[in-house]
Structure 1
Amino acid sequence: MLLRFGVVPMVVISSKEAAKQVLKSRDLETCSRPKLVANGLFTRNFKDIAFAQYGEDWREMKKLVGLELFNPKKHKFFRYIREEEGDLLVKKLSKSSQTQTLVDLRKAFFSFTAGIIFRVSFGQNFRECDFIDMDRLEELVQESETNVFSFAFTDFFPTGLGWLVDRISGQHSRIEKAFSKLTKFFQHVIDEELKIGQSQDHSNLVSSMLDMINRSTEYGSFKITSDHLIAMMTDIVLGGVNAGTITMIWTMTELTRHPRVMKKLREEIRATLGPNKERITEEDLEKVEYLKLVIKETFRLHPPGPFLLPRQVMSDIEIQGYHIPKNAHIKISTYAIGRDPKCWTNPEEFNPERFANTSINYKGQHYELLPFGAGRRSCPGMTLGITILELGLLNILYYFDWSLPNGMTIKDIDMEEDGALTIAKKVPLELIPTLPASLCIK
């Protein structure tokens, strides 16, 4: 589908075949990112990975983050943090199970996901910080995400008209305020890290990049600056925390709506892991195959983002026989592809068994399932994101049974969606946890 917003042509890709051509073609793989106003502001003039323009700086930043945050050695090293946060999640939920009170799963999952990502990436436990609490942090993340992915008229009318409309409508002011709040928060994080001084071990991304900045290190062809650091912190917070939280909520929503699937998964988990397990470990993640099928099906129906981040073609190209002009924006609809009847039987049905005995995965080799994208622009944090997702779900499904509030039935579950970059469940999912008699909390 070819649309035109102002002077900018935009192509929406909604088929597996067209997505494959865009993501696999060497020519199209090198598409740059469009220079959107909000994206540039939040990423310090595109000094991050997600929104950076294609080129040498982007390649070197991707290598740097791969080495300092997402390499296998560090992933293994930080395992203890992820498991500790899993323990904390279970302990919090156990209090609600004892009193049989409702749990807002968004808040529980946000605290779990944010706790891991901030400790791993920033080296700080934000439950112990005096400059922000988890409720305020959640508000900040949601407000920042809404604004960083909002459209400005200037993006599509790059003349005085777009500039004028953004200021009259208040859009420019809203983006500036959200950016200021997020930057102030990141500066607090950096200041706390600097207090540690030379004794820090540079195990997290922030401390490593601060060390490079202080030593005026040149990485590849460019010098690391504080702008690169804040831009990467923006990517990590907006790209990691909310997406993982939303996927866990949709998974629990679909499991609650489908008792057969919930019962099958819960029984497999407990039979495989055995009774009275003191702690869920990452070794357990490979033992429960059905959980992986459930997550794949959730990604299919509820991808973290309805569209992959937009691309801007650098020259005239052809996709599926259609001419695409230079500078056009390309948006791939993972939402539409995941529900395409040409790819899936009964596409609106939640059926994890459809992935049994197939090789389809979400790692970018199968273009009918693209929650993390594919090719050079795929999400570098995929391994960490999947580990957090599986660990959180395994903990709450092993230790607790879940039920709807009294008087509420499956038909009453509201499935309305809301969001821009990510598609969240608009109405909170509130369930009652119960500790099975056969299990005990550590």
Structure 2
Amino acid sequence: MKKLVGLELFSPQKQKSFRYIREEEGDLLVKEMSKSAQTQTLVDLRKALYSFTAGVILRLAFGQNFHECDFIDMDRVEVLVQEAETSVGALAFTDFFPTGLGWLVDRISGQHSRMNKAFSRLTSFFQHVIDEHMKAGQTQDHSDLVSAMLDMINRPTKSGSFKVTSHHLKAMMTDVVLAGINAGVTTMIWTITELTRHPRVMNKLQEEIRTTLGFNKERIIEEDLEKVEYMKLVIKESFRLHPPAPLLLPRQTMSEIEIQGYTIPKNSMIKINTYTIGRDPKCWTEAEEFIPERFSDTSINFKGQHFELLPFGAGRRSCPGMALGMANLELGLLNLLYFFDWSLPNGMAIEDIDMDEAGDLNIAKKVPLELVPTLHRW
């Protein structure tokens, strides 16, 4: 399954062939923001960035443009994903009492029922996507995960060999949607929030972007991503303070081990607290401050070789979609910061920005980030 998803979504060849999708979604993001800029309308950035990120991920994985879909819209997709993610991330009594007692309490509390309903609705959406693929045949605009797995499902297999089924397909669709959308949106929101709170950094970044890319560009393309070095430092600093999944995904020990004098039994669930690591004063100077320049004279990156910064995890269980996630993240931010200047609503000061957090798997900004965009005048 990992190899299949890697070939269909994350390989360098696929990344290159999908760039037009990311650029088209970036153009759509700018178009929507421009409407608000013309009327000086307050924008809920989560809504706009969710539409951008989900538009990219769903087109890549499912081969359909859900902005033009007649059976579901982006708002409904967001609700389905949020319901499923909340169910997955919530603590359950069966996590602590793996016996009939925990299961019984979950049933009485209604958590079991809520989880079933959430995933039933998500599965119904996936089934509709699959049905549309089967009706369309080969008319999609590119080979995608659903097409590839349907081909495997329909392919004859030798006796005794592993058989891919529709259940495997829906499971992979769930993984891609839950892992691929919210994390990117969360990081973009936190990054814009920190930039708004730190005008020095915002001004420095926008000056670098506009000076490097030139004036009056009609659109942002992926070659532009390699030209803006300071933005990469800003993103690293955002990952450090606001890792999208602060506890990563749980691991399970394969054997009994000892760590700093503590014996960890076999089959124990382990969670890595990247949030605490990123704010540890033993690792970072002025650990609570947003200072992107701290990365200018260091080789520390987020690819899993430096354990001080692990937004994508490390080792065999690291996120396979890191390159895709970074391309979406950088392209979304670059479009917002090149074409628009951003200001707080009238009467609101920087000190009034609420930094409370909320969420389960992904820790997002609790209070929506609402800003007023203005088209930049050259």
Runs of 4+ in structure 1 deviating by more than 4 angstroms, as ranges, are 198-202
Equivalent in 262, 265, 277 of residue 202 of structure 2:
262
Structure 1 gap segments, 5+ residues each: 1-60
The one-letter amino acid paired with 2:109 is: S
Contact 2:220 2:335 in 1 (8 A): yes
* Distance in 1, Cα, partners of 2:157 & 2:323: 28
Q: Deviations over 1:205-263 (max 9, x none)?
A: 11111111111457x96222111111111111110100000100000000000000000
The answer on whether the counterparts of 1:400 and 1:435 sit within 8 Å (CA) in structure 2 is yes
Q: Which residue of 2 aligns with 1:378?
A: 318
Q: Of 177, 193, 201, which aligns to 1:253? A: 193
Letter in 2 for 1:295: I
Q: Which residue of 1 aligns with 2:9?
A: 69
How many correspondences in the alignment? 377
CA-CA distance at 1:299 after TM superposition = 0.2
Contact 1:202 1:211 in 2 (8 A): no
1-structure distance, mates of 2:351, 2:231: 24
Matched, 1:278 2:218: yes
Task: Determine whether 1:424 maps to 2:364.
Answer: yes
- Residues 106-117 of structure 1 aligned to structure 2 (within 5 Å): 106-117=46-57
SS of the residue corresponding to residue 433 of structure 1 reads strand
The partner residue of 1:236 within 176, 193, 214 is 176
Question: 1:130 aligned to 2:47?
Answer: no
Q: Which residue of 1 aligns with 2:273?
A: 333
Deviation at 1:285, TM superposition (A): 0.2
Taking a change above 3 Å as real, the CA distance of residues 80 and 200 of structure 1, as seen in their structure-2 partners, is: closer
**1:368 pairs with 2:305:** no
Aligned twin of 1:391: 331
Residue matched to 2:376 = 436
Match of 1:356 among 268, 289, 296: 296
Q: Given the superposition, is the C-alpha separation of residues 139 and 198 from structure 1 closer, same or farther in structure 2, using an over 3 Å criterion?
A: closer
- Which residue identity lines up with residue 47 of structure 2 in the other structure? K
Distance in 2 between the 1:168 and 1:437 partners? Answer: 59
- Identity fraction in percent: 79
What is residue 30 of structure 1 aligned with on the other side? none
TM-score by length of 1: 0.83
1: distance between equivalents of 2:106 and 2:93?
6
Residues 301-355 of structure 1, C-alpha deviations (whole Å, 9 max, x = no match): 0000110111111221112332111121100001000000010001000000000
- Give me the whole-angstrom Cα distance separating, in 1, the residues matched to 2:78 and 2:181: 9
Question: For the structure 1 residues 102 and 217, does the alpha-carbon distance in structure 2 shift closer, same or farther, using more than 3 Å as the test?
Answer: farther
Query: 1:294 and 2:234 equivalent?
Result: yes
> Given residue 315 of structure 2, which amino acid in structure 1 is its aligned partner?
G
- Given residue 322 of structure 1, which amino acid in structure 2 is its aligned partner? Y
Q: Is the 8 A contact 2:63 2:141 kept in 1?
A: no
Aligned-partner Cα distance in 2 for 1:160–1:356 = 54
**Which residue of 2 is the match for residue 187 of structure 1?**
127
| Structure 2 contact 64–140 (Cα < 8 Å) conserved | no
Q: What's the counterpart of residue 84 of structure 1?
A: 24
Aligned to 2:61: 121
Please tell me whether the aligned partners of residues 278 and 308 of structure 2 are also in contact (alpha carbons under 8 angstroms).
Answer: yes
* Equivalent-residue separation in structure 1 for 2:151 and 2:142 (angstroms): 8
Structure 2 residue runs without a partner (length 5+): none
Structure 2 CA distance, aligned partners of 1:105 and 1:427? 11
Between the aligned partners of 1:217 and 1:376, the Cα distance in structure 2 is 29
Q: Which amino acid aligns with 2:210?
A: R
Q: Match of 1:413?
A: 353
Alignment of 1:24-43 (within 5 A): none
CA RMSD of aligned residues (A): 1.4
Structure 2 residue 42 is matched with structure 1 residue 102: yes
Residue equivalent to 1:210: 150
Change (3 A) 1:127 1:427: same
1:306 aligns with 2:224: no
Equivalent of residue 146 in structure 1, options 86, 103, 114? 86
Q: Secondary structure at the match of 1:350?
A: coil
Structure-1 separation of matches of 2:156 and 2:293: 53
* 1:105/1:200 CA distance change after superposition, 3 Å: closer
1:216 and 1:380 map into 2 onto residues whose CA distance is 29
1:137 to partner: Cα distance? 1.2
SS at 2:217's partner residue?
coil
